[in-house]
Structure 1
Amino acid sequence: MTEGLLFVLAEPGVVPEDEFHDWYDREHAPARLSVPGIRSGYRYRAADGARPGWLAWYELDLEALHSEAYQAIRRRSPREQSVVDRLETLDRRVYELIDDEGTRAAGAPVVVSVALSTTDGAGLDAWYREEHIPRLLTVPGWRRVRRYRRVEGPGPDLLAFHEIDGIQSFDHSGYRAATSTPRRARVMAKVTARERRVFAFHNTARPCLPGTP
């Protein structure tokens, strides 16, 4: 099995927030967690003031996305189609795991996603492995760093996905040191696209909520 990440950014737009959450928590997320190979799901809200304002991410075996069960749940109900048609943004991306460092823990309070494209993939990879990740994991509250390559959807080619205890980690001297080295500057000079987002925990997706069919 190939470890992957389903990463979905959404902005409700004209969809009322109560309707958006009810649809997501009672229909959309439970349907995905019913698919064998989709192991867990989480919802986060923007903590950086940027849009789209919501992130859902699912840990899974990539093969699950090609199964009959997954194709079945992608056939939208009338309610789901109505919501999706009115969303301002629905940005779906699929990633394949490159590496995973740190402590496994469900539902980190904050996640930081950094999507990158570069003209020097080998240099970027070596910097992450040899310098950047080891330094970040010494910062208090920096739990885990996973890196992925994009296999489906829009956006830059690579994703670094960080799980941390809170945005206070950004003020720590270790974080400032990890993000201001000469080697980082050389690597970043070859980056052609970069998207950095910060999200705070909203809830854990559930297979079925009380009162649902």
Structure 2
Amino acid sequence: MTEGLLFVFAEPGEVPEAEFHDWYDHEHAPARLRVPGIRTGHRYRALDGAVPAWLAWYELDTDALRSPAYEVARRRSPREQDVVRRLATLDRRVYSQVDDTGTVVPAAPVVVCVALSTDDEPGLDAWYREEHVPLLHRLPGWYRTRRYRLAEGDGPALLAFHELSDVGLFGTPEYREATSTPARSAVMASVTRRERRVFGHHRTVTPD
């Protein structure tokens, strides 16, 4: 059993927002939460003004995604087929966890998702473990940092998934220190692809 993350960006496109939320909250997400091994699901709205504007993420055992129950959940109803056809983006990624630091919170107000590909994975890993994560976790309200490797989907190979209390932390001296060291500059010189997104909590989904 491996700790995993099902991570889905969505942009409604031609789907009216009310219809988009009704489909996601009452059909799409509940079907996934009924699968044994998919433990929690949350929806977040972009705070950074970028698109896709919506993120859904599910904590799970990766074996759950190979189960018959999940195959049933993925069968699209006629309504879902119609909604998905009209979406501008439905970007599904699956990650396997490699590291976990901090405090578990039920649904953090803010998440920061930093996806990276690099020519120097050992150097990036050492920087995260030895400098970057310890510095970030000095900030009151920086709850948790989990790091993942991409298992399925199209995206950078690695993901740092941060859970925090407020975007105001980005303006603190401690945050500036954590993101502007000489070691960070050296590591970033080897990065070949980078995505950084900031989202705020919209709702926690349930199986009903």
Q: Which residue of 1 is the match for residue 106 of structure 2?
A: 106
Aligned residue pairs total 208
Q: Is the partner of 2:106 in helix, strand or coil? A: coil
Q: Which residue of 2 is the match for residue 137 of structure 1?
A: 137
Q: Is the partner of 1:194 in helix, strand or coil? A: strand
| Counterpart residue identity of residue 18, structure 1 | A
Structure 2 distance, partners of 1:49, 1:43, is: 16
Q: Is the partner of 1:105 in helix, strand or coil? A: coil
1:1-49 Cα offsets, whole Å, 9 max, x none, are 1000000000001100000000000001100000000000000000000
Aligned 1:178-193 pairs, distance under 5 A? 178-193=178-193
Shift of 1:74: 0.7
Aligned 1:14-163 pairs, distance under 5 A? 14-163=14-163
Q: Which residue of 1 is the match for residue 194 of structure 2?
A: 194
Shift of 1:141: 1.2
Structure 2 distance, partners of 1:140, 1:174, is: 10
1:40-91 Cα offsets, whole Å, 9 max, x none, are 0000000000000000000000000000000011110001101000000000
User: Does 1:171 pair with 2:171?
Assistant: yes
Q: Which residue of 2 is the match for residue 211 of structure 1?
A: none
1:147-197 Cα offsets, whole Å, 9 max, x none, are 000000001000000000010000010000000000000000000000000
Structure 2 distance, partners of 1:123, 1:62, is: 27
Structure 1 distance, partners of 2:30, 2:164, is: 26
* Residue ranges of structure 1 left out of the alignment (5+ in a row): 209-213
| Counterpart residue identity of residue 28, structure 2 | H
TM-score computed with the length of structure 1 as normaliser: 0.97
Structure 1 distance, partners of 2:122, 2:40, is: 31
Q: What RMSD, in angstroms, separates the aligned Cα atoms of the two structures?
A: 0.4
Shift of 1:106: 1.1
Give % identity: 69
Shift of 1:140: 2.0
Q: Which residue of 1 is the match for residue 11 of structure 2?
A: 11
Structure 2 distance, partners of 1:133, 1:106, is: 20
Structure 1 distance, partners of 2:53, 2:123, is: 32
1:77-114 Cα offsets, whole Å, 9 max, x none, are 00110100000000000000001000001110000000
